[in-house]
Amino acid sequence: MLSGEAVAIDVQPIGFLLRAVGAIIDMLLGFALFILWIFLRIWLLDAGILDEATDRIATVTALVVSFVILPIAMEVALKGRSLGKLAVGGRIVRVDGGAAGFRHAFIRALLGVLEIYMTLGGIAVLAGAFNSRSQRLGDMVAGTYSQRVRTPKLVSHVPQLPPALAGWAQIADVARLPDRLARRISQFLQSAPRMAPAARARVAHDLLAEAAPFVSPMPQASPELVLVGITVLRRERERRALLNADSRAEKLTGRRVGV
């Protein structure tokens, strides 16, 4: 997907099975509300509060509230989410990635009466099973789909200086690496635990050979440990450079304010 600034954004739609589970939860909520009305209706009829005419009006109103107004209200209030979507980690958004509004929720709810409640989900299953984004008929008409918003938490990988290189780090001179090489080293250190030992050693040796002209002196350690040491030293020196730049900017700002 491309944003308005022509930036590619990777978004994932909810899978068919998860979306079906979320829809079932929302269906059960609607049926539960209508069943609650049935019990209330029996009490009102016994108490003489409802007669035949008002009972029909109230029943139709309860149907509309349970299966149309409730889904609309939940999606608008929760910004594209409902009880079922909260359970499976989804959110209704426009096909361009923007937030869905009342119009989208209204169209989806109206068509949902046909494809979900009147056919017990038959039309929705047929539409979603043959659609790459698992869109049901209401989504196709409204121009929406269910986006995955619950993703696995990324584990931050911050390399630490190996104890064997502590002495070398005090005298080492590591120049700035080319951006492409630095990115390749960082990607290797993140994926190294999942690599085969032979491939891991070969890639580490090749990367160290490319980084060698920027390091003096070269420590006596395994190539992968040296790459970790190079990465840690460059990170610390760039951090200190940023802190020094911020400090100088603050001093200049303070002088200007004083003048």
Select from 113, 89, 93 the least CA-distant residue to 104.
Answer: 93
pLDDT of 47 higher than 90: no
Res 249 pLDDT > 90: no
> Distance of CA 235 to CAs 51, 171, 230, Å?
78, 16, 9
> HSE-up of 8 (CA within 13 Å, CB side)?
1
| SS3 category, 174 | strand
Q: Could you report the per-residue pLDDT of 108-163, keeping only the tens digit for each?
A: 999 999 898 888 888 888 888 888 888 899 999 999 988 888 655 555 566 788 88
Give percent of the chain above pLDDT 90: 28
Q: What six digits make up the tokens of 213?
A: 């002209």
